[in-house]
Amino acid sequence: MCGRATVTDPDGIEERVYGFSSRFTPADWKPRYNLNPREDIPVVHADESGARTLRLMHWNFVPGNLATREAVMAFDAQYSTFNARIERVSSAPTFRSAWRRQRCLVVVDGIFEWVGAKGAKTPHLIRRKDRRPFAMAGLWSVWRGHDGEELWSCTVIVGPSAEWYTPFHHRMAAIIPPSSFDEWLDPSLTDASAVQSTLSAAQFPHEEELEAVVVSKKINNPRYDAPDCLVPDS
């Protein structure tokens, strides 16, 4: 699964790597050391022309066709759509349109997993060995209210874990290498089966580039967000 993340270096999400030509991020965008679902997470998406934008999106996918703000709030509270299962994402009513036309890169520099017996689990941070950001395959949506209000939202696609990841969880985020960014974001790619083939072919060299490090159990508190939660307990 993918339900907790870090964005410790927002400036590390570079235009030259992710290809965005515009960005909608706050001037005081601060690092996140314990980022949770239903909070804002950085996303790169493309419009119909292929132009890419970096923006913060609500990390819990909300369909754009809901009639009212109240319906949006109710959906967001009732449904956990921050992950989309690869086995059903192309056919699930919530995601199937976005699967064909609204794919994105959800960019972080770490994700958390817990290992051990219930009540005594040890948190681990999965990150690149060079500490640079990486991209997870995602889908995005935008809801627009009659008064001009907008809610941009996203989900991370998850599938069965690779063998090396199974000690951490039986499911993992679909991580995409830079060489596959263009095809994944290509707005002309609208056939559901072709999208599936594209994602299946996007093989990130997980074992060579990623590592797992033990971090503080302070991370267990979703409201705690400070640098020391990434330091192992003494």
pLDDT score of 211: 92
Contact between residue 10 and residue 41 where contact means Cβ atoms under 8 Å apart: no
Q: Which of 189, 126, 135 is nearest to 17 (CA)?
A: 135
Contact between residue 143 and residue 63 where contact means Cβ atoms under 8 Å apart: yes
Kindly report whether the global pTM for this prediction surpasses the value 0.75. Answer: yes
Confidence of residue 132 (pLDDT cuts 50, 70, 90): very high
Averaged pLDDT score across all residues of the chain: 94
Paired with 108 in beta bridges are: 134
Q: Which of 206, 227, 208 is nearest to 216 (CA)?
A: 227
- The end-to-end CA distance of the chain, in Å, is 28
Q: 5-230, which class in CATH?
A: alpha beta
The predicted-structure confidence for 23-39, as pLDDT tens digits, reads as follows 999 989 999 999 999 99
Q: Is 208 helix (H, G, I), strand (E, B) or coil?
A: helix
pLDDT at 205 over 70: no
The predicted-structure confidence for 9-66, as pLDDT tens digits, reads as follows 999 999 999 999 999 999 899 999 999 999 999 999 999 999 999 999 999 999 999 9
Contact between residue 99 and residue 195 where contact means Cβ atoms under 8 Å apart: yes
The predicted-structure confidence for 169-190, as pLDDT tens digits, reads as follows 899 999 999 999 999 999 999 9
Residues in the chain: 234
